[in-house]
Amino acid sequence: MTDQVNSTRVDAAALDAFCRAIFVGCGADEATANAATDAMMHGSRHGIDSHGVRLLDHYVTALEGGRIKKQPVIRFAAQLGAVGTLDADAAHGALAAYEGMHHAMEFAGKFGIGAVAIRNSSHFGPAGAFATEAAKAGFIGLAFCNSDSFVRLHDGAMRFHGTNPISCAVPLAGERPWLLDMATSAIPYNRVQLYKSLGLSLPDGTASDSRGIDVADPALADMLAPLGAAFGFKGAGLAGLVEIFSAVLSGATLSFDIAPMPGPDFSTPRDLGAFVMAINPEAFISRTDFDDGMRRYVDTLRNSPAREGQKVLAPGDREWAEADLRAIKGIPIDPVTEQSFRTLSGRFGVGLPFA
């Protein structure tokens, strides 16, 4: 929701078709085009614009450079019972994560739970897209990933972890899922850039200089703080959990060893890691009891007393409301992204999704 100022509004279906056609135009296979588009559109539909269609131009550069393979062969490097490790063959991260989650859901159907670690992957976009994929089919979904490092440790003065997100989606009968999708850093890096462009001071305990000392001026920010401010050992610990599941268990490169996302090298695969899990509630409890429990939990939450002038929301409520708004008003495309679309349109002979 950070890119709405001076933005063109575009119909979601037209935007979706444009992204797919550009991916196919640059030589990506259909599975890659579909997965990468679905993940970006999850971001763009729900107001997570940092992980929305603004990434199209970046992904095309990575596909053309060879960092991401246009026609990868994803296979299990290990598989036992309800789990396995996928070698993603430098696939688009969204393709690897959707495929991993589909395997996890199949395992969960048989064994009640399924988990897939993924290595040799790449940037997968919004973690919530993959957790939601599980929830749509009635499973609880979890998705983690690591990425190039931006976040210091508690009392640390080094970019150590990626923003290492945790996403969890839980089915809610009769409506869209309960959906948590959070970075384990205090704030996302694009928030620092936004504050800089708006000339605003950063909130306390969110970003540091190279010595690990908190800064208020976004221009001086060299790294992000872990979630928790004075209790940042908790955020750093959660980032570590995500790192271990995504990178150690899968055999992927650790965040502090990953080449930076913005380049300059767009030809070498970056070997990001991820971890996805699906849980079948019906292996634990009847579907009716599960649905009733979630209903009582979420209804009590939404109707609970709030601080004066505030309203309490369940994780995901803000995103679903934004999705409803964007379904009517269209999806905002910031000026930089709009310009990149014009260039891509010309290069690949694909009609623009806006006038």
Tell whether residue 111 is a contact of a second copy (CB under 8 A): yes
Residue 179: phi, psi to the nearest 5?
-135, 105
Out of 25, 27, 66, 212, the only residue in the binding site for a second copy (CB under 8 A) is: 212
Shortest spacing between CB 311 and a second copy, in angstroms: 7
Contact predicate 181/167, CB 8 Å: yes
- CA dist., res. 127 & res. 275, Å (int): 10
- How many whole angstroms separate alpha carbon 258 and alpha carbon 159? 11
| Full DSSP string of 23-49 | HHHTT--HHHHHHHHHHHHHHHHTT-G
State yes or no: residue 296 binds a second copy (CB under 8 A).
yes
Mask 320-349, x = binds a second copy (CB under 8 A)? ------------------------------
Q: Which span sits near a second copy by CB under 8 A: 88-96, 298-306, 321-329, 334-342?
A: 298-306
Q: How near is the Cβ of 55 to a second copy at its closest, in Å?
A: 23
Question: Residues near 99 by Cβ (< 8 Å), separated by ≥ 6?
Answer: 35, 74, 86
Restricting to residues 3-22, which ones interact with a second copy according to CB under 8 A? none
Q: Which stretch binds a second copy (CB under 8 A): 57-65, 95-103, 147-155, 334-342?
A: 147-155
- Sign of the CA dihedral 231, 152, 127, 108? negative
Question: In the set 234, 266, 348, 352, which binds a second copy (CB under 8 A)?
Answer: 234
Draw the binding track, 158-197, toward a second copy (x: CB under 8 A; -: no contact).
Answer: x-x-----x-x-x-------x-x-x---xx----------
Cα angle: 68, vertex 69, 73; to 5 degrees = 130
Give me the least distance between CB of 180 and a second copy, in Å please.
4
